[in-house]
Structures are given as C-alpha cells and as structure tokens.
C-alpha cells in the first residue's frame, strides 16, 4: 500500500469518526472538531502524495481531480465552521450541526471511492 493510500485511509478513519460520533450523540463536541481537522490534514497530505506520484499534468477539469478539490474545500469550510460553532455558536447550532457534517462526508466519499476505483483499474 502506498503512502498516499495510507494517508487517505487515515483521512477516512478520522473524518468518519468525527462525523458519525457527532451524528450519534447529535451534539458537536470539541473532540469532533479535532477529528475533522485531523481528517482534513491527512486528506491534504494524501492528495499531495498522489500529486507527486502522478505522471500526467494537473487537470482541474478531470472528474476525479474536480470532485477531490471540491471535497477538500468543502472539508475546510466544514472544519472552520465547526470550530466557530464550538467556540461561539448557540446550543441549537451545536445540536443541528451533524446534518451538515453528514452531507460533507457523503460528498467526500465520491472522490474517495473514485480514487479507489481508478487505482484498482489501472493495475496490470
């Protein structure tokens, strides 16, 4: 398994832990936010590692690249907003935040599974 695959899998583990534990308790806690940031950090690191392994030019219009970039920016917005909600938000926001988290997580799965498919289909 390449370092990129390990990093992206760690991103999945931490991001899923944060999103689904928040969803189960239906309340945004500081450690959920830490899991979001860790997931994002591993995702950015894994994306960078994949970029270094790539042989072709960077093409933002390629579907996997486009969905991956959108997912990264959405994860960043999610982590920033979650940080703000924990620090300054109202109780109703902390209670309803899990809805947004699940939507971001589902969108993030598109490039995750797309990359998995591309990785498996390009093997001889």
What pLDDT shows up at residue 118?
A: 65
Supply 55's token pair: 């042989």
* pLDDT of the residue at 112: 82
pTM of the model: 0.87
Does residue 6 surpass a pLDDT of 80?
yes
- C-alpha separations of 19 from 29, 30, 56, 66 in Å: 11, 12, 34, 23
Burial 28-64 (b: 16+ CB within 10 A, else e): beeebbbbbbbbbebbebbbebbeeeeeeeeeeeeee
Query: 43-93: per-residue pLDDT in tens?
Result: 999 999 988 887 878 778 888 788 889 999 999 999 999 999 999 989 999
């Amino acid at each position: 398994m390449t370092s990129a695959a390990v990093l992206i899998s760690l991103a999945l583990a931490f991001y899923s832990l944060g999103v689904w534990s928040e969803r189960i308790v239906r309340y945004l806690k500081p450690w959920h936010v830490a899991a979001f940031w860790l997931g994002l950090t591993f995702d950015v690191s894994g994306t960078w590692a994949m970029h270094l392994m790539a042989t072709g030019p960077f093409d933002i219009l390629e579907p996997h690249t486009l969905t991956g970039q959108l997912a990264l920016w959405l994860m960043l917005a999610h982590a920033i907003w979650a940080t703000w909600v924990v620090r300054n938000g109202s109780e109703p926001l902390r209670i309803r935040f899990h809805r947004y988290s699940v939507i971001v997580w589902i969108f993030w799965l598109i490039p995750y599974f797309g990359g998995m498919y591309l990785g498996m289909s390009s093997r001889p």
